Structure formats: structure tokens, C-alpha cells
Amino acid sequence: MSEMIREKVTERFIRFAKDNTTSDPESKSWPSTERQRDFMIKLKAELQEIGLTDVDLDENGYLMATVPENTGSDSPVVGFIAHVDTSPDFEGNRVNPQFTRNYNGKIIHLKDGVSIDPAEFPELLQYKGQDIITSDGTTLLGADDKAGVAAIVTAAEFLIHDLKKRKHGRIRIGFTPDEEIGRGADKFDVKKFGVDFAYTLDGGEIGELEYENFNAAGARISIRGRSVHPGMAKNKMVNALLIANRIISMLPPAQRPEHTEKYEGFFHLTSLSGSVESAEMQFIIRDHDRFKFEEKKRLLKEVVQLMNLEVGKELVHIVMQDQYYNMKQQIEPVMHVIEIARNAMRLAGIEPKVKAIRGGTDGAKLSYNGLPCPNIFAGGHNFHGPYEFLPIPSLVKAVEVILNIAELAVSENWKTK
């Protein structure tokens, strides 16, 4: 059966990866790009062809479908969710997936001088002897989260055509747009989805099981300067770019992404543009600990206030907005959901790696909207750039874990937990 899964899920992932579904943080439309809707339309047709029921694509670009139950018992309704968009951080058009067969432990050379070197990415050596998928080096691969989409669709297909062998309750699957720009769960209809609990397939390496994530906020700082001829600038010029530089220098250097790991939070300057006359900065703020998260937000606001005091005018303005919160406190009362996933991984021959996400998933917002939704692996590494890779056996195991969860949920005495 594993070989059948491998063939199906690999073909499906390659096909999905070739579709450009990059989201756009500057867009006001829903979804943010029409190419995501185009992909959803094709995916809807595929789900109908497989034989799923209740296949519905709504006006906001959310796609849901059902695998009917085959037990006749009062078992929980379980959901599986993935996002179809890929990150705007790197080129997502004309993705050309490449196979490295029986990886030999050496550097994987791609186009334009891009190489995935185990000296820089030592996790690559875990997959020696396995088949690995990469991009050609000119784009990202899109395993975040086309791997999750492919795994869910493939598992649903196997459940539909294996009704007499594997007992399971009603299964709902859902696909969201715009997760990469923080909007993935914003218009997700939890009531319509109608499940008792769900899992996002949006994790990285094989075995990952996550029910903690960052608290997250975004901040946009606008700076108004005063441009004067530099030969006559004394006591007149206000250089917006230098104010931006001063703001950066006042934030703790140790709390930047490149210096943090595990439970350490950060300030991340994601963009800076401007001139002497005006400048704009965008930050994201992250921390697992809610108190430290609020302290980071307070510090950035205080830095802005201090800059206005230094220049003697209200030239610097900040708009800050919370994006999502740590799902941990929503999952802890229903830890049987985690135990089902643990057991499903062990049945697939995988030792679970319970860890905190240094990021967020749709599941974080969904958990706060009343749908417990931890995250499990889909197998990829090095997302959002040309160094991304996906070991095929990890993707196969993601499908097996979904199948095991579907079966285990029936046998769990979940309502008494």
C-alpha cells in the first residue's frame, strides 16, 4: 500500500507545485490573488472526481469537502486542513520540481549557482538514500503547503475507495487561501466545517507535532522627513532614512530572527523603503510567551515615542495589529487530540517530535475560534526560498498518519476526555 500511496501523492504534489498560487499582502481582494481561486476551482473538480461529497468552494476562496463515515457509530467528526497559497517572499511562478534519486549525502546543485549543501543544511543528511524533490533553484518549491494539500487529498482518495477495510467516522477536509500573509483563517466558517477537532498539515520535518506557536503582531512605521538641499541643510533637514536607522539601532540586536531559536522571540524588520523626505518600515513581532510578547510591542511603541521627542515633532507614526496568538491554552483542555496524533505517528513507525512552532498556522486562529487544531508534519524543509526540499518518504508518511488518525478517532472514547 505504501508504494501506491507514494505514486499517488508524488504525482499529485508535482502537479500542484507547478501551479502558481503566490498570495499578495498588498491586495485587498479575497483571496488576495485570482490564481489561488483558479487553483481551488481545479482542486474542487478533482475532489468531485475522487468521489467526495459536499464539495463546496465559497465566494471567499475556501474549499471544503466530506469523506462519508462508514461505521454507523457515534464517532467524532475529524478535519484536516491545508493552505494552497505559497509565500510571496520568493518567486513562485514556473516552479520546475527536480528529483534527486537515492540522495548520496553530497551537495545538491541547482540552477543559477544555487546549491543545497549539507554543511549549511545538516538536516539534509537525515535523508541519505532517499528520493528528494527540490525546485530547479530559480523558485521556491511550494511544499509549504502543497505537500499538505497533496497528502490530504491522497488520504481522502484512499479512504473513499477503501470503505470496507478501514473504519472511520465522518472526515472533513478544508483548503484555505492566504495563510502566508496571515489571513488564512479569517473567513473560515468553523460552523459550516462542522468538526469536533482538526489538524493542519502545515509542519516541516517528519514526526513534527505542534500545539504551541508564536503570539504574533505586525507593525507599520511611517516617517515624515524634510528634504532640503544638503548644502543648506543645517538645522533644517530631517532625514527620514536616518530616523529609520535609529529605530533599528534602538531595538535589541540579540532579538532578531538570525540570533534566536526555540522559545526565543524576536523583532523582524521585513521591509524598509524611502528617501530623505519619507520612509516606511514594516516589522513583525513574535514570542511564545504572552507577557514577553506584550513587552516587545510596548518597547517598539516607546522607541517611536522617543524618536518623536528627539526630533521635537510628531514625525514618526506606528500602526500595530495583533495577528494571532499561541494556541497552547486552547489545546491543553483537549489533549486527547494530541494523543491521537501521537499514536497515529507511532503506528506509522514514526517517533513524534513535539515542539513549538516558530511561526503560526491557520490552526492557531481556528483554535481561538472554537476549533482545536494542532499542526502535524507534511515533510518539507527550508520553506520560502530556493533551498527548499521535500523527501518523498516523509510525504508518504504524512498520508499514512492521516489515515491512522481517521481510524484511531473512531476507537477513542473521546467524549469522556
Q: Out of 69, 145, 178, 179, which one is annotated catalytic? A: 179
C-alpha–C-alpha distance, residues 341 and 320, integer Å = 36
C-alpha–C-alpha distance, residues 307 and 276, integer Å = 16
85 is catalytic: yes
C-alpha–C-alpha distance, residues 325 and 255, integer Å = 19
Q: Out of 19, 69, 85, 208, which one is annotated catalytic? A: 85
C-alpha–C-alpha distance, residues 360 and 202, integer Å = 9
User: CB-based contacts of 41: which residues, under 8 Å, 6+ apart?
Assistant: 57
Can you give the three-state secondary structure of the chain, one letter per residue?
A: CHHHHHHHHHHHHHHHHCCCCECCCCCCCCCCCHHHHHHHHHHHHHHHHHCCEEEEECCCCCEEEEECCCCCCCCCCEEEEEECCECCCCCCCCCCCEEECCCCCCCEECHHHCEECCCCCHHHHHHCCCCEEECCCCCCCCHHHHHHHHHHHHHHHHHHCCCCCCCCCCEEEEEECCHHHCCCCCCCCHHHHCCCEEEEEEECCCCEEEEECCEEEEEEEEEECECCCHHHCCCCCECHHHHHHHHHHCCCHHHCHHHCCCCCCEEEEEEEEECCCEEEEEEEEEECCHHHHHHHHHHHHHHHHHHHHHHCCCCEEEEEEEEECCCHHHHHHHCHHHHHHHHHHHHCCCCCEEEECCCCCHHHHHHHCCCCCCEEECCCECCCCCCCEEEHHHHHHHHHHHHHHHHHHHHCCHHHC
User: CB-based contacts of 236: which residues, under 8 Å, 6+ apart?
Assistant: 226, 228
Beta bridge partners of 215: 287
179 is catalytic: yes
Residue type, 145: D
Task: Give the residue numbers annotated as catalytic, written as ranges.
Answer: 85, 179
